[in-house]
Amino acid sequence: MKKWMSAVLAAILMVSLLGGCAGAEGLSGELVISVIPSWIDETSAEGPAFLAAIERYEELNPGVTITAQSASQQDIKEAFQTAALAGGGPDVVTMDNCGHAIDLAAMGLLLPLNNFISDEELEATYQPGPLKSGRFEGAYYSLPWFMNCCGLYVNTDHLAACGLEIPETWEDLENCLKVLKENGYGGIITYKSAYAFYSFFYQNGCPVIDATGEIPVVVVDNEAGTEAWNYICKLILEYDGLVESFKEATSWDKVHESFANEEATFLMGGDWCKTGINNLNTGVNYAITDMVSGKQQATILGGWTWNINANTKNPELAYDFCRYMCSPDTYDVLKPGGRQSARIDWDTTAAFAESDMDLKVLADQFPYTMPRPGVINEKTIDEIITNAILTVVYNQVTPEQALADLAQELRDNIESNYGDI
């Protein structure tokens, strides 16, 4: 991060804390929060419970008023960023844990949580994957709210017709794709992005980008990364591992359609895919299982977090509300949408309705989840990896050249964001 940004953050933090505490006795004042529309829609599955939770908080804290505003999932981060850069914005914002918090922290727009809670307490309360998704330069910036991860949806009729079992390892998956191809069945469908493919790198012990130091280091082309890349390319090129519709899978709806219509035997995706598949009413028979394992068990993390605006005039209230929304007191907010808390003490068995117990296998992967690389501008990193995969899908370059180009583009991106540290 640029040195001047560190100074800006320090100045903003001091002003925020002094402004928020001056003349205050206990928790009081107005707090503006930003969420996606479904959370405050009384007709949505989770809206009534979310709004009721706000009312309970106001009752517990007389003198506090919570005002909720909304922005779409696609726009919420950018809308907050624009307002915060101008010195305003909501006190609190919820965001996808795909690297948004790191971008905003790098710009000095979020408050670090160590002003309110120790790292040790955070690490004893929340799953490690979600916590890491909001860690930047040694500090945590996001309170994990709910989480999900990538698993494997399996067309059981296709496997049975080929005499195959549900795959558990890289070798199993490779063999399944080989036999499925020989028998005229399609392979894998997933969202047209790097999302699911991170899992293969993580399963082989490669973080893609090592962000543990002051300047991130690209390791996608080290020995472990090269092995993972070659495995992905082998699935694609030798076994037609990705079905044709992957090229157009720019929404999860298209992913669900491909699987529900039995074009693909496997779908790599999260808990939301079950509803998407079932809503199509095609009668496809399927099972849900965890991602295959390589040298270790691992899968890509998803989910949402609570984050505090560095411009807030009431930081203590902002933190307390975020803490409340992530606490057992508001577990009822998550259940209508089938969401899973990112807290370690969350009971996944009790959380699922009987009809959704098949999703528990995904929740059981939570201790093995890993976030996307914790670097500035992670969205671009995701796009670079996606484009590299597509060059292989379209057979534009060899896997070796694609990996070399990928590694260089990632290094160029890191240098452009961190080169003046």
Specify if 202 maps to a domain. yes
Residues 6 or more apart whose Cβ sits within 8 Å of residue 311? 12, 16, 84, 87, 88, 89, 109
In a domain, 51, yes or no: yes
Evaluate if residue 13 carries a pLDDT over 90: no
The closest alpha carbon to 368, from 212, 194, 203, 220, belongs to: 203
- Is residue 301 within 8 A of residue 16, CB to CB? The reply is no
Q: Which of 261-265, 314-318, 372-376 has the lowest mean pLDDT?
A: 372-376
Does residue 296 form part of some domain? no
Based on the fold, state whether residues 385 and 328 are members of the same structural domain: no
Is the predicted pLDDT of residue 20 greater than 80, yes or no?
A: no
Residue 26 has pLDDT above 50, yes or no: yes
What is the per-residue pLDDT across 194-240, written as a single tens digit (0 to 9) for each? 999 999 999 999 999 999 888 999 999 999 999 999 999 999 999 99
Whether residue 87 contacts residue 11, with contact meaning beta carbons closer than 8 Å, is answered with: no
For 201, half-sphere exposure in the C-beta direction (CA atoms, 13 angstrom radius) is 25
Note the pLDDT of residue 347.
87
Instruction: Please give the residue that has the higher pLDDT: either 337 or 200.
Output: 200
- 272 inside domain: yes
CA 359, CA 349: separation in Å to the nearest integer?
10
Residues 209 and 325 in one domain: no
> Is the domain of 243 the same as that of 316?
no
In a domain, 123, yes or no: yes
How far apart CA 27 and CA 76 sit, in angstroms, is 27
- The domain spanning residue 217 has which CATH number? 3.40.190.10
Q: pLDDT band for position 17 (50/70/90)? A: very low
Chain-centroid distance, C-alpha 94 = 13
Residues 333 and 362 occupy one common structural domain: yes
Average pLDDT, the chain: 92
- Cβ atoms of residues 220 and 208 within 8 Å: yes
Q: Which tokens in the block code for residue 51? A: 């709004």
Mark whether 67 and 79 lie in a shared domain. Answer: yes
Q: What is the 3-state secondary structure (H, E, C) of 157-186?
A: HHHHHCCCCCCCEHHHHHHHHHHHHHCCCC
Whether the CB-CB separation of 271 and 290 falls below 8 Å is answered with no
Q: Report residue 19's pLDDT band, with 50, 70 and 90 as the boundaries.
A: very low
Q: Give how many domains the chain has, as a whole number.
A: 2
- The answer on 230 and 84 residing in a single domain is no
- Same structural domain for residues 32 and 127? yes
Do 259 and 276 sit in the same domain of this protein? Answer: yes
Closest alpha carbon to 116 in 342, 316, 321: 316
**Beta-bridge mates of residue 300:** 370
Q: Do both 81 and 169 map to the same domain?
A: no
355 and 400: one domain? Answer: no
Based on the domain organization, do 164 and 130 belong to the same domain?
no
- The answer to whether 309 and 109 have CB atoms below 8 angstroms apart is yes
Claim to verify: residue 72 and residue 209 sit in the same structural domain: no
- Is residue 295 one of the residues assigned to a domain? no
Task: Answer yes or no: is 255 within a domain.
Answer: yes
Residue 44 lies in a domain: yes
Residue spans of beta strands (DSSP E) within 117-168: 135-136, 139-140, 142-149, 151-155
Quote the radius of gyration of the chain (alpha carbons, Å).
22
- The string of pLDDT tens digits covering residues 28-69 is 999 999 999 999 999 988 899 999 999 999 999 999 999 999
Structural domain of 306: 3-148+302-370
Q: How would you class 197 by CB atoms within 10 Å of its CB: exposed for 0-12, middle for 13-18, buried for 19 or more? A: buried
- Which pTM value belongs to this model? 0.87
Is the distance from CB of 382 to CB of 372 less than 8 angstroms? Answer: yes
